[in-house]
Structure 1
Amino acid sequence: MKIVAADIGGTNTKICMCDELGNIEQFKEYATESNKGGPHVIQRLLDKIGEYDDFDVIAISTAGQVNSEEGYIVFANENIPMYTGMKIRDIVANQFNKPVKVENDVNSAALGETYFGAAQSFNDFLCLTFGTGIGGAIVINRQLYKGANGVAAEFGHIFTHSLSETMDGGRKSFYETYASTTALVKMATEIDPACVNGKVIFEKLSHGDKELERILHSWVDEVSAGLASCIHIFNPAAIIVGGGVMEQDHLVQLVEARTKELIMPSFSNVKILKASLGNKAGVLGAASLYL
């Protein structure tokens, strides 16, 4: 089976031709131009799919809450304006007259890791990605758990800090407010304005910046507190952590060590592992929808 698989992110979109065994050909990456809105994003996708010849089906991974049964966006934040309600499956299927499947990006990444990556040996695991916010996926018996409305695993919106009337109706108490990469960058720039992204932060850390090291450990505490709660609720065999900052092996080791200090001893066999598929996790996970 020849699959055109795409992964729509807030910044970049990945697209390729592949098969159901995960063999990738003609991999491309282009700017999503998400600030121009959902209709523009999908039109660009249609144009890019049109550059491929002789394929059987289409698989799409995308940011936002997705109704995968009907292939539309239930909710998307301001990163992609006018995206909520977009009937992606119908739009793409009508253009190419091919079967189309659509799934949330973190769910797709979890499926990619299930079949082709770090989670191949686990039946029950969680997947969390740390970036602008925090995305999540729950895999039970090697199947996605989506909840009653199909939008389960909004781990970024669990509450890890006490509520306050002065804190935006409670939203600033969310896990991702304190443990996303955005949060780490905000903490770091308060002591060094040059720390505009994770790459700069870890470059400075490699040169022994003690103040940044203190910031990092404070952030790791926030990450680990949320993971500990997830572990106590789900008792997973593993948690797969992804996102650019989690490419750092040393960071994943710090998170695992701190998390295990926070959890009950009876949960201590859980593994915390780095996602292994990098920027191809989404397209591979989308393709796996046809397994």
Structure 2
Amino acid sequence: MIALIDIGGTQIKYGIMNTNTETARTLGSIDTATDLPDFNILDRIDIAIEHIKEDYTIRGIAISSAGVVNPTTGKIVHANPNIPNYANTSLKEILENKYNLPVSVENDVNAALLGEIYFGKHQSVSSAIMLTIGTGVGGALFLNHQIYHGYSFSAGEVGYTFLNDQNIEEVVSARALVNRVQQQTPHEKVDGFYIFKELEKGNPEIARILDDYCQQLAKAIINQVSLLNPELVILGGGIMEQTGYFEPQLTKYFNQFYTNHYASQRTTITFATLGNTAGMLGAYQHFKNQHPNK
């Protein structure tokens, strides 16, 4: 059994992987209450591992984590302030010394892409881009059958690229869409559920905003595809679960705006299928790559 840990900005999810059958089970989650003055993320990780060890004998620990990760050393080389004192944490070394077990650490979006490739429907794919559309826009690159990390482990950070003189995440994140709808409606609580409920009702302003949003997202995808020429583009994030709407719209605008028709006809836009389990599954795949005999 391999312990699976997925470290996010608001919670740590944990589970177990049966290496004989390669089936995973989610066991629970722990909130990361970062408003506490004595908060230490390592304490929360230890709680998750100890919970797993209560019922399972583990032979390793596979971690998916927010932040910029050195995937070889397992060090968190950079992290946002929403996880205090996390940057420069030698996570792999600390946990290996404490538990006397092999440990692997991979960035959460990279892990999610590995999960979608190896445990989803895309095992035969050699190249893919993943965009996660949420509060921001995350990204990951899978090239020549492996994650491409970049010189400083920051490859795939598409949210920092520009569209219409703004960072892409200010244009095509789910937050950007909600903010735009909020400006056009007196409704006090705008979220994805409200937006698509109004679309079903035939709200013309919502339809217009969504249509323009799809045009901008298609252009953002084209920018990535033009540079890397992947076989597959995988879109993840809660709002992208509305595949019945987004799949035909994005495909239409992708083909309309991408003037390299030879490449556009050979690029597939698809959607993540593993949900919240993708990160843990990808963490296991990264562990297996690093420790093939475990």
Number of the residue aligned with 1:27: 27
How far 1:93 moved relative to its partner? 2.1
Number of the residue aligned with 1:42: 42
Is it true that 1:262 corresponds to 2:244 in the alignment? no
Indicate if the aligned counterparts of 2:160 and 2:168 stay in contact, CA closer than 8 A.
yes
2:162 match: secondary structure: coil
How far 1:34 moved relative to its partner? 4.4
Number of the residue aligned with 1:186: 179
Is it true that 1:124 corresponds to 2:127 in the alignment? yes
Is it true that 1:247 corresponds to 2:249 in the alignment? no
Q: Match for 2:6: what amino acid?
A: D
CA distance in 2, matches of 1:252, 1:10: 29
Give CA-to-partner distance per residue, 1:72-129, whole Å, 9 cap, x none.
2122223323322222222322332211111000100011011111322311111110
Number of the residue aligned with 2:162: 159
Counting only pairs closer than 5 Å after superposition, residues 71-90 of structure 1 correspond to structure 2 as: 71-90=74-93
Mark the CA change 1:206 to 1:10 in structure 2 (over 3 Å): closer, same or farther: farther
RMSD: 1.9
The runs of 5 or more residues in structure 1 that have no matched partner are 163-172
Is it true that 1:197 corresponds to 2:191 in the alignment? yes
Mark the CA change 1:26 to 1:106 in structure 2 (over 3 Å): closer, same or farther: closer
Is it true that 1:234 corresponds to 2:225 in the alignment? no
Indicate if the aligned counterparts of 2:12 and 2:30 stay in contact, CA closer than 8 A.
yes
Give CA-to-partner distance per residue, 1:36-91, whole Å, 9 cap, x none.
58953331121111112210000110111111111121222233233222222223
Number of the residue aligned with 2:275: 278
Is it true that 1:18 corresponds to 2:11 in the alignment? no
2:155 match: secondary structure: coil
Mark the CA change 1:18 to 1:37 in structure 2 (over 3 Å): closer, same or farther: farther
How far 1:176 moved relative to its partner? 0.8
Mark the CA change 1:89 to 1:258 in structure 2 (over 3 Å): closer, same or farther: same
How far 1:254 moved relative to its partner? 1.6
CA distance in 1, matches of 2:35, 2:257: 40
TM-score, length-normalised on structure 1? 0.90
- The number of equivalent residue pairs is 280
- Indicate the larger mover: 280-289 or 251-260: 251-260
The runs of 5 or more residues in structure 2 that have no matched partner are 289-294
